[in-house]
Homo-oligomer: A and B are copies of this chain.
Amino acid sequence: MNFNYAERMSNLKASEIREILKVTQRLEVISFAGGLPAPELFPIDEIKEVNRIVLEEDGESVLQYTTTEGYNPLREWCADRMNKRLGTNFEYDHILITHGSQQALDLSGKVFLNKGDIVLCESPTYLAAISAFKAYECNFIEVPTDDDGMIISELEDLLKTTENVKMIYVIPEFQNPTGRTWSIARRKAIAELASKYNVIVLEDNPYGELRFEGKTLPSIKSFDNSGQVLCMGTFSKIFCPGYRIGWIAGHKELIQKYILVKQCTDLQCNTIAQRDIAKYLELYDIDKHIEKIREVYRERCDLAFNTMEREFPKEVKFKKPQGGLFMWIELPNKINARDVLEKCLERNVAFVPGGSFFPNGGHENTFRINFSNMPNERIVEGIKCIGEVLKEYI
């Protein structure tokens, strides 16, 4: 067939994770691959109840078209939540409800990126952000990153010397894939650079509520005086991902542009989903629910970490994250994690090789472990298995 695609299509390839996820749908597979929440924690009965109530109370509007901006009580909740936790100062009209965080990434590309523009990102960074932005034909420069976040001097050097930097994309809490958390000093510093160099910072924060230890840190946005920082949130990890409801928050002028772009992209988010979630937040205690998730993930994280310490060869490097869903593993340079994965898949254990998280390639000696989706005994069994395969290589 002779189809005539847009040029951008040559930049896009299927997400490695979603391809691996197809394998992991087999029940016998122990999967550390996806970023899937633990489904046994979904508040199924409560959701049944809120859906019944919203349909009974207001079925005709709940099933109808609604505004692009999103349901106002939900926008208000998002603003309040960020203000309370993250030191921001939002009102409901600083918020656009999006079809999951992923759509906020896509809309950000649409609002800001011309072909050939530069996106600066952590090295490594979230794989699906890379593909969202790539659709707008940008290029990436990976900013050297350590345990405290991007190295600020390196970031400033890049901002000074690089043309057409449009956006800096960061995940300062329990980063995907590394699990790292930015220091307060670095958060403050990047907000200052955003203002100085007139460049957008997109602060992604899907895991921030899932902190296992220590105190919540102020967001990058809380240090923003110029309006150049936008921040994102999602119900996928604290409620459930099936609803596809997230949000983006920022300066009103920017959010107006996002609304315009969302309007021509998909008109609006699912009305029912927005109303169900708003009703849940009204009737139930989401903090209690999140505490339950946090407990379970903390235990799984500890268990995975302790098992790795016991079972992985000592040449393998990893650290325990303060929260979130992921751990990051570095193998000796000569070992390719894709080979390790192949051997593990033969034994029904899956994870994601780290190479895909580097937009400019390399780093094939790394991989990512998700610890939220498997019960305890399978975590131990799966990590042991990876350990055995690693011992064959080292």
Please give the residue numbers on chain A whose beta carbons come within 8 Å of chain B beta carbons, in ascending order.
Answer: 1-9, 12-15, 18, 22, 34, 36-37, 39-40, 42, 44, 47-48, 51-52, 55-56, 59-68, 99-100, 102-103, 106, 110-115, 117, 128, 131-132, 134-136, 166, 198-200, 226-228, 236, 240-244, 251, 253-254, 257, 260-261, 263-273
Contact = CB atoms under 8 A, between A and B. Distances in A.
Contacts of A5: 111-112, 257
Given A242-B65, A264-B12, A198 B6 contact: no
A243 B8 CA distance: 30
B6 A136 contact: yes
Nearest to A253: B1
A137 to B, nearest CB: 10
A266 B129 CA distance: 11
A117 to B, nearest CB: 8
B52 A1 contact: no
B267 A270 contact: no
B15 A251 contact: no
B64 A135 contact: no
A284 to B, nearest CB: 15
Given A6-B113, A40-B60, A135-B261, A52 B55 contact: no
Contacts of A67: 18, 22
B42 A63 contact: yes
Q: Which of A40, A103, A240 gathers the greatest number of chain B CB atoms within 10 Å?
A: A240
A102 B4 contact: no
Shortest 9 CB-CB distances between A and B: which pairs? A242-B271, A44-B59, A39-B60, A131-B264, A63-B240, A63-B242, A103-B266, A42-B63, A102-B267
